[in-house]
């Protein structure tokens, strides 16, 4: 049995990258830490909010590489002179990835009340109508049916 992906469907010409994007997104799953929300602020704006309590701005980095938004958190080494009777607050490194569609750009990021907010803006989609001229065949007759 042959597996036909999105790029192999006859009506989806040039969508091979979409299939690669779906596979890359599935591989980038980093569990459920840190928890996050994605909200639509308005028609073209989105906000990703990550719960990063315990992290300072200097401990976080946000990068975009190949349409993939990566948020990394790195905590400094814990002091060895601290003794915990109970340790229930997660304090571990993390990497969270989000794949951005073409036309979606990061507008900015800020921290407030233990949440890292990343604002995204989607560019308006241009509706383009293009007329394709039907040309004469190369090297052949203009119309084979006229000669019959």
**Could you read off the pLDDT of 56-71 as tens digits, one per residue?**
999 999 999 988 999 9
Contacts of 93 (CB under 8 A, 6+ apart): 72, 73, 74, 75
- Taking residues 15-31, report their average pLDDT: 65
> Could you confirm whether domain 32-77+88-125 is CATH 2.60.40.790?
yes
pLDDT at 80 over 90: no
pTM recorded for the entire structure: 0.68
Looking at residue 63, what is its pLDDT? 97
């Amino acid at each position: 049995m042959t597996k036909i992906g999105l790029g192999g469907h006859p009506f989806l010409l040039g969508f091979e990258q979409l299939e690669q994007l779906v596979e890359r997104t599935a591989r980038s799953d980093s569990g459920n830490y840190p928890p996050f929300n994605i909200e639509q602020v308005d028609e073209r704006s989105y906000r990703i909010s990550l719960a990063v309590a315990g992290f300072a701005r200097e401990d976080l980095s946000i990068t975009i590489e190949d349409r993939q938004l990566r948020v990394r958190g790195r905590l400094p080494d814990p002091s060895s002179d601290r003794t915990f009777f109970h340790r229930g607050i997660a304090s571990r490194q993390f990497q969270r990835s989000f794949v951005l569609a073409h036309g979606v750009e990061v507008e900015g990021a800020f921290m407030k009340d233990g949440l890292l907010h990343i604002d995204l803006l989607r560019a308006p989609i241009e509706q383009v109508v293009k007329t394709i001229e039907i040309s004469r065949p190369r090297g052949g007759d203009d119309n084979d049916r006229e000669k019959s």
